């Protein structure tokens, strides 16, 4: 049986409270294998970033060169095994067995990423949901978000799907 691909789901509205005034939020979900269901959200998050598709790494490299002229932070999907305060360059805000919260506040926008593992139920397998919430600041933040969103909506499902491969 083919495993369903990552799909867009409703955003957990309680997460929006972390960034009052956020103008963008989305969430993607994928079913987990039985083995993955026994892993923590942190382990799954790390695996997801370790398996980043090469085309995403290339896009990120292009993005870093383009935003440098605006003085924005560069991004990196590299996992540093010695750093436990960040995952793939995203600062770790909170962590439990079932949830990892990443993100930071920058001059153009503030964002949060939640990776939540939900246990299996009698009617559905264990699932992993990645939620992104963004609050833009000034015109630069709105312009940046407008340019990035088409890529974001392809990258997140691709990363989740790669986790299953």
pLDDT average, residue stretch 99-124: 93
Q: What percent of the chain has pLDDT over 70?
A: 91
pLDDT average, residue stretch 96-106: 93
Q: 10 Å Cβ neighbour count for 62?
A: 10
pLDDT class for 79, splitting at 50, 70, 90?
Answer: low
| pTM across the whole model | 0.87
Tokens of 105: 């506040």
| pLDDT of 75 higher than 90 | no
- Separation in Å, CA 142 to CA 96, 109, 135, 146, 147: 32, 8, 9, 6, 9
- Mean pLDDT lowest among 51-55, 116-120, 126-130, 159-163: 51-55
């Amino acid at each position: 049986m083919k495993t369903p691909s990552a799909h867009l789901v409703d955003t957990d509205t309680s997460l929006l409270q972390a960034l009052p005034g956020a103008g963008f939020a989305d969430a993607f979900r994928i079913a987990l294998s039985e083995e993955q269901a026994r892993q923590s959200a942190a382990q799954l998050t790390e695996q997801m970033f370790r398996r980043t598709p090469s085309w995403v790494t290339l896009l990120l490299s292009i993005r870093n060169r383009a935003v440098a002229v605006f003085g924005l932070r560069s991004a990196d999907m590299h996992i540093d095994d010695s750093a436990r305060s960040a995952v793939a360059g995203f600062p770790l805000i909170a962590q439990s067995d079932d949830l990892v919260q990443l993100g930071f506040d920058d001059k153009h926008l503030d964002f949060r990423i939640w990776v939540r593992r939900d246990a299996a139920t009698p009617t559905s397998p264990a699932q992993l949901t990645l939620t992104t919430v963004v609050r833009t600041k000034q015109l630069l933040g709105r312009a940046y978000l407008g340019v990035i969103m088409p890529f974001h909506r392809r990258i997140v499902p691709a990363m989740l799907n790669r986790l299953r491969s």
